[in-house]
Amino acid sequence: MVTRKSRREIEKMRTAGRIVAEVLALVESELKPGVSTAHLDRLAERHIRSSGAVPSFKGYGHRSNPFPASLCISIDDEVVHGIPGERQIRDGQIVSVDAGAIYDGWHGDGARTFIVGQPPSEVVELIDTTRMAMMAGIAAAVPDANLGDISGAIEDVAGPGGYGIVRQFVGHGIGTEMHQEPQVPNYRTGVRGMKLAPGICLAIEPMLTLGSGEVAVKPDGWTVVTRDGSLAAHFEHTIAVTENGPEILTTV
């Protein structure tokens, strides 16, 4: 069921979103060759908890294989849900970082793909296009629009460059749970979808690749990689639909 949030509830989500944005800025400031993904995860968890929030991701999932960290850190051909560990970031890699925080029971969820060093121009264009596709989707999230308008806006930015659009993982509703209805595809489905109204909160998150959009999950049960080994990028903001249009909640 899709729920509409009150102004008071959105205010709590705004606080959670601000903490997420601060975490991503902290990671960016620390991201350099030689730093371990475990170090970045420890910094993130410390900041989330010191801000009066709880990491959304740690312990998420089935109890037989809960996610073990506070950040998802995905490198190069890893699309999403990469598990932090002792591996070190190398010059020339691209690093996608997904962060989530729960404040007073309400979630914020955001992601960015960072460049380490000087990758080829095609990689820079992939990252820029993914960010612009997200922003186009956000701009389409206005009252009386349909969910499919968001999907179409994302596809219209991603498609002309020939990028692979990951279809297996999509955006989603968000609130007292990290994943709520509705799903928000990053491509046209042929269905207009529900009508948007003030109070609906969504996590909009396109994932694009330099090759095919086909993905697979590694044996750890979490890390999603491109099947063809192509590089991938991921951006995400939590937003609220308001009477005046979309408001980004995952910002400082």
The pTM (predicted TM-score) of the whole model is 0.97
pLDDT at 11 over 90: yes
Q: Give the pLDDT band (50/70/90) at residue 197.
A: very high
What 3-state DSSP class applies to 113?
strand
Residue 205 DSSP SS3:
coil
Question: Which pLDDT score, from 0 to 100, does residue 66 have?
Answer: 97
Q: Are strands 54-55 and 94-103 parallel, antiparallel or unpaired?
A: antiparallel
Whole-number Å distance between alpha carbons of 123 and 93: 10
pLDDT of residue 119: 85
Specify which residues 94 forms β-bridges with: 115
Cβ neighbours around 1 below 10 Å, total: 6
Please tell me the CATH code under which domain 7-248 is placed: 3.90.230.10
Q: What is the pLDDT of residue 184?
A: 98
Q: What is the DSSP string of 132-166?
A: HHHHHHHHT--TT-BHHHHHHHHHHHHGGGTPEEP
pLDDT confidence tier of residue 173, bands split at 50, 70 and 90: very high
Stretch 83-97: mean pLDDT, rounded?
Answer: 97
Beta bridge partner(s), residue 100: 109
Domain boundaries defined on the chain = 7-248
